[in-house]
Structure 1
Amino acid sequence: MTVESVDRRPIGRIAPALLEDWLRDRYFELPIDISSSGVQDYSVGQLRDILGITARDLDEVQFRDSPSVGCLPLRQAIADRFGDGGPETVMVTHGSTEALFLALAALVSPGDEIVVLQPVYHSLHAIAETLGARLRVWRLDPEDGFTPDLDRFRDLLNERTKAVLVNFPHNPTGTTLSAAAYEEFLDLIARHDCHLLWDGAFTELVYDGPPLPDPRERLERAVSVGTLSKAYGLPGMRVGWCMAPAGLLTTMVKVRDYVSIATSPLAEFLATAVLRDGDRIAGRRLRQAAANREVLRAWALEDPEHIDLPVPLGGVSAFPAVRGVADVREICGDLEAHGVLVVPGFCFGYPDRMRIGFGGPPGVLRAGLRAISEVVGGPAGGAG
């Protein structure tokens, strides 16, 4: 068990987002991207063709401000697909990152105890830390393939716990909770007077069973966050959302008035069309990701001498270790010379690992894996 305590600090002194620092320029320069945690991007033209959106439809969108919580058609589409059909508990945000920021700003006071995961995406610990929370760390152990240990989680909860902040399926490892473990997880939280902040960015990206149901079906104090950036291949649309208790949404809107005011009506129009026909948009990319996962698995099995891969159960990112290498940054630099982008594990606190994204075009994944094999000395035909 790890407990970290910090004083509240000016928001400008938030910890650097190491992942974003690494990707900031490389993402736009390197042609073989196997770093990303989302599926292959769609173009506007592809969306229009699939969904039957006409130029006239787009011409009729007016660039006036949207409501503070998002337009009603999009909130209804989110509620219909992920919630209980009630749009009054839905807020549309600039990606899931804004939803997390607003929810934490509304919930956290200095000294509050917040349970967070390790390793984890930076927004899922740094915001709470900057707001003055005492972080109680639920470590996912690489020796167990990063499988969530509920006994370890149980020991972190107490009467001072203000919130539990988790991400399943998980970024960067792809681990998740089984259906039985999920029920036990929710039962443990229900016994405590705390909120659950559930980052469900990868909810629909699962391979061996149905997605986990939204926690708000069981927990009134749950805040459920989602996005079009990961499973839907629309990161540039910058549309996310949260479903939360009405009182909490009121406070989140108050904070938002100082940050972003509202979301774009054009983005909301497109997002509404996407979610009304979500199976067609997300389904295509899920099938591609599932096939890519098998390519990734076969590649790792070909070279157990160098690659230790916990097979992802969800999402489209894997977090393999390179055996015998304490810090993979030099390897990542060598891969750049091949035009290949991956994320070194130090961005998540595990320098011997790298994040590999497998949601993109199959040919790009195969080319990237071949380059890794060449650099680390694995089979020359890997992922061929």
Structure 2
Amino acid sequence: MKLKTFGVEQWMNDYETTATYNLGETCVSPLSLQDLLALTHTDEAAFTNKLLTTRLTYGDIVGAPDLLENITHLYQHLSSNQVVTTHGAIGANSLALTTLVEPGDEVVVVTPTYQQLQSIPESIGATVKLLALTPENDYLPDIDQLTSLVSDKTKLIVLNNPDNPSGSLMPREHLQHIVNVAQSVDAYILCDEVYRHLTQTDDYSPSIIDLYDKGISTSSMSKVFSLAGLRLGWIASHDDAFMNTLFSHRDYNTISCGVINEMIAEVALANKEIILKRNRAIVRHNLQLLSDWVDQQPHISWLKPQAGTTALLQYDFDIPSETFCDQLFKATGVLLVPGAEFDVEHALRIGYAFEDAELQNGLNQLSAFMQTL
């Protein structure tokens, strides 16, 4: 199986560890275990004793029961037997795609998005049709274009909501239109929802599985819950046929997730409202900082994100985005991700959900760099 080089991950691999200002970071300010226990008012001594005395054997095969139950509370109507844990959202996406997609299938995928969602179906031998998200349409899928792309051969429609890199958010009505299109050709919908809940308002953000029995949701502890180091994600769906096949495929690449990882995730999800309050406050405060900065930049334009932790910044300099980001990094230590890694030129992906001082200092360095161009 031949896979394309994973552009965004390779870029982060090459630059992230030596960055002075990591404006490529996409997780909300990460928590230490001590931070998590204090934030959730968990008895540190009792938890530490449980941690130290837990035998490091295989965990529950499909996920710890309490953890699965807590995951169901992130959705409107979900049973614990309709969710399974995975090695991060990246593992969830990979497992879902390799379970569903076969050579010759047609798959419709939004673009720009996380490259994995396009490249894995391509590597399997599917015909991948790209549904372009544009600023003119608020980076939302065009329903008429989607309708023209599907056929009776369409196995799967792949979405990312909120979208990485644009930060667009599909409201319930828009998702319902997409569901209607999928139903017309009896297609599944896989929605990478790893940024779901990181909204600019307190309204409930619907999942695809709230609206569609053949919907599949993937997510993780990384972005929303500030625990990327756990490498713990999940797949959720109401479709029994898909889930039964998924469990069989999972035996080949997962067996179980780590017992300690799931133990920590249980604490976080049992106290999800506390963490969501913290993290929404961070993304809302920092997005305002970023918005104020953009307003002062004559060479930068954008569509302000509605959710998530990332934004696409368009610039008007006559320089390719990889060259721009490489020169910026060498001159200032500021890490941004080139739009080219998402097949969008003259654009930069910025993350804004970490410490506000680092964001502001990085933006100041970016301003100074652009004055030299």
Coarse TM-score class (shorter-chain normalised): over 0.9
Cross-structure match for 1:44: 33
Is 1:254 aligned with 2:248? yes
TM-score (norm 2): 0.94
Within 2, Cα distance between the matches of 1:178 and 1:109? 31
Deviation of 1:170 (Å): 0.2
Match of 1:362 among 356, 362, 368: 356
Report the AA paired with residue 352 of structure 2. Answer: F
Match of 2:310 among 317, 328, 350: 317
CA-based RMSD: 1.6
Determine helix, strand or coil for the equivalent of 2:71.
helix
Deviation of 1:185 (Å): 2.1
Match of 2:342 among 323, 328, 348: 348
What is the percentage of aligned positions where both structures have the same residue? 26
Of 70-79 and 52-61, deviating more is 52-61
Structure 1 contact 322–352 (Cα < 8 Å) conserved:
yes
1:132-162 deviation line (CA, Å, top 9, x unaligned): 1111111012344423322222221221110
Aligned residues: 366
**1:207-356 alignment runs, 5 A limit:** 207-208=200-201, 210-244=203-237, 245-303=239-297, 305-336=298-329, 337-356=331-350
Determine helix, strand or coil for the equivalent of 1:320.
strand
Match of 1:118 among 97, 111, 121: 111
Within 1, Cα distance between the matches of 2:302 and 2:225? 25
Within 1, Cα distance between the matches of 2:97 and 2:218? 12
Cross-structure match for 1:185: 178
Match of 1:167 among 160, 170, 175: 160
**1:43-192 alignment runs, 5 A limit:** 43-51=32-40, 52-54=42-44, 55-192=48-185
Report the AA paired with residue 15 of structure 2. Answer: R
Within 1, Cα distance between the matches of 2:130 and 2:270? 38
Report the AA paired with residue 336 of structure 2. Answer: V
Within 1, Cα distance between the matches of 2:90 and 2:324? 30
Within 2, Cα distance between the matches of 1:340 and 1:324? 18
Within 2, Cα distance between the matches of 1:321 and 1:217? 34
Report the AA paired with residue 292 of structure 1. Answer: N
Within 2, Cα distance between the matches of 1:183 and 1:249? 22
Report the AA paired with residue 203 of structure 2. Answer: P
Report the AA paired with residue 304 of structure 2. Answer: V
Structure 2 contact 332–369 (Cα < 8 Å) conserved:
no
Structure 2 contact 328–334 (Cα < 8 Å) conserved:
yes
Structure 1 unmatched runs, 5+: 1-9, 379-384
Determine helix, strand or coil for the equivalent of 1:125.
helix
Of 146-155 and 237-246, deviating more is 146-155
Determine helix, strand or coil for the equivalent of 2:185.
coil
Deviation of 1:177 (Å): 1.4
Deviation of 1:84 (Å): 2.2
Deviation of 1:31 (Å): 2.5
Within 2, Cα distance between the matches of 1:135 and 1:53? 50
1:57-95 deviation line (CA, Å, top 9, x unaligned): 322322110133112111111112325241011100111
TM-score (norm 1): 0.91
Within 1, Cα distance between the matches of 2:73 and 2:113? 29
Determine helix, strand or coil for the equivalent of 1:373.
helix
Cross-structure match for 2:17: 28
Determine helix, strand or coil for the equivalent of 1:82.
coil
Determine helix, strand or coil for the equivalent of 1:162.
strand
Regions of 4+ moved over 4 Å: none
Structure 1 contact 68–253 (Cα < 8 Å) conserved:
no
Within 1, Cα distance between the matches of 2:166 and 2:351? 10
Deviation of 1:209 (Å): 5.6
Within 2, Cα distance between the matches of 1:292 and 1:50? 20
1:331-380 deviation line (CA, Å, top 9, x unaligned): 212322312111111111113111000001000110111111111129xx
Determine helix, strand or coil for the equivalent of 1:81.
coil
